[in-house]
Structures are given as C-alpha cells and as structure tokens.
Amino acid sequence: MGFLKAALLALGLLCFGFIGFVGALLALMLSPLFPGLRFYSNSFFLEPFGWFARRVVGVKLTILNRERIHESRPAIFIGNHQSGLDLAVIGQCCPVRSVIVGKKELKAIPVFGWFFWIAGNLLIDRSNKSSAKAQIEKVRQKLSERNLNLAIFPEGTRSKTGEILPFKRGAFYLAVSTGYPIIPVVCSNLQGKGIWERFQLKGGNVVLSVLPPIETKGLNLSDLSVFSDQVRGKMVEEYARVSALAEEMDLR
C-alpha cells in the first residue's frame, strides 16, 4: 500500500508540476505588465498539490497559530525537514510572494524541476562549498531587491531519525543581513505517517505550529552561531510538544 501511495504521489507531482509550470511560464511572460507575478507561482502549486497529497496519504493536518504567518512581512520562514511530503504539509504555510531554497538536483526532476526553476525559486549547489558564500549573497540581493519572503530548511537535508538535525547558518546569515525576522514552522514527527522516500505512508494526524516571529534587527554576523542555536532550541522544544499532541489526536 505504501508503494502504491508513493506512486500516486509521484504522478500527482508530475501533473500538478505541469500545471504549475504552465502557470509560472504565463506569469513570466506577463511580468513586463505585472512585475513579480511569477512569485505567486509557489502558492498556485502548493495549495492544490498539498490537498491532493494529504488525501492520498491520509494525513489530517492541523495548523496552530496560522495567523502568525502574516504578522511580519517580508520574513524568512524556516521549517524542519523530514520528507518529500513536506511540500504538502509545511508548504501550506508558505505565503504568497515567497521563494524556496532547494538543492540544484531538483532541476533534474521531470516537470516539477522545470516548474521549480521557472517559478523563481533558488537552486543552490551544496557540493561546491567554495561558492556557497557567493550563492547566499545572490539570494540576499534577490530578496532585498524584490521584497520577497524566503522559505528554507536550515538542516540542509532530510532528517532520517525523526530528530531535528543541527542547523546550517545560511538562513540566519540571510535574516541578519536583510533585517528580516525569522518565523519557524514546526511539523510533528512524520515517521511512519508520511515518509515518502521509505514508503512509510500510513497517514494520521500531523500538527504544524507557527512560532512567533523572531526579530533579527540589532544582531551582527558574529551572533549567528548563538542565534541559530537559540532558534533551534525553541523548535526542538515545540517539535516534542506537537509530536505528542499528534499522537494524542491519533488515539481519540
């Protein structure tokens, strides 16, 4: 059953990716008349794909404090990364005029990769550490020039253990250098319920919690290490709480 659900998810990703690609392409063509229109493409894709994927898997999503998404704009949205299904879960808290940071390998995924690139999202070559700083600086310039939100997984890769991995500093560098607040979005444990890559797709209750915006004005780049650890600590604490809440909801 898990394999069948994963196959349906892949088919849905292709179908909705194609629709998103066409929409993003049209938005790009209309950009001389409507500047920035392409940056609405992610919401155009994530809402319907999320609806489809959650029903295929059987995920019942509860979002706590969703109104906090709109408290500060623009902002850096960070989330814990567990599965490809995060698109259908955490993606529901990605506001309009947002770009997503992903690894450059995403571009190789048929149809979806085309959509991801043409929608204005940001592809980072994580294997080339020598150019990492330059890539991050390009992201910073794009955010500042176009007044965009950013969505990023600061762990840099999916957690295979169900625990939140140590954070890389790129998201925090961007937040401090732009003065944008950070808004953490914490997803409950998906182990067994929604790990697409291992066919663990039994479904169940999943809880998202949007934490209050964390201001970065007044911080310096020398504060990055302590600041990222503090934010991660808050997310680890909330992760334990929402995971327990999701388990409790499963038993009702």
**What amino acid occupies position 223?**
D
What pLDDT is attached to residue 228? 97
What pLDDT is attached to residue 205? 98
Q: CA torsion 103→205→17→136, rounded to 10°?
A: -20
What pLDDT is attached to residue 131? 66
| Residue tagged 């600086």 (tokens) | 137
What pLDDT is attached to residue 109? 86
The candidate with the shortest Cα–Cα distance to 161, out of 251, 90, 80, is 80
What pLDDT is attached to residue 130? 63
Which three-class secondary structure state does DSSP give residue 195?
strand
Q: Per the structure, how many domains does the chain have?
A: 1
What pLDDT is attached to residue 77? 96
What pLDDT is attached to residue 132? 64
d(CA 109, CA 164): 26
For Cα atoms 171, 213, 143, give the angle at the middle one, nearest 5 degrees.
45
What distance lies between CA 208 and its chain's CA centroid? 12
Question: Residue 240 maps to which CATH number?
Answer: 3.40.1130.10
**Is residue 20 within 8 Å of residue 12, measured between CB atoms?**
no
- pLDDT tens over the chain, length 252 residues: 899 999 999 999 999 999 999 999 999 899 888 888 888 999 889 999 999 999 999 999 999 999 999 888 899 999 999 999 999 999 999 988 899 988 888 888 888 988 998 898 888 876 666 666 777 788 888 888 888 999 999 998 999 998 999 999 989 999 999 999 999 999 999 999 999 999 999 999 999 999 999 999 899 989 999 999 999 999 999 999 999 999 999 998
| Structure token digits, residue 216 | 């970065």
d(CA 237, CA 91): 21
Query: Which residues form the domain of 164?
Result: 2-251
d(CA 117, CA 113): 6
> Residue 187 — φ and ψ, nearest 5°?
-105, 135
d(CA 20, CA 14): 10
Rg (CA), the chain: 18
b/e map 146-180, b = 16+ CB within 10 Å: eebbbbbbbbbebbeeeebbebbebbbbbbbbbeb
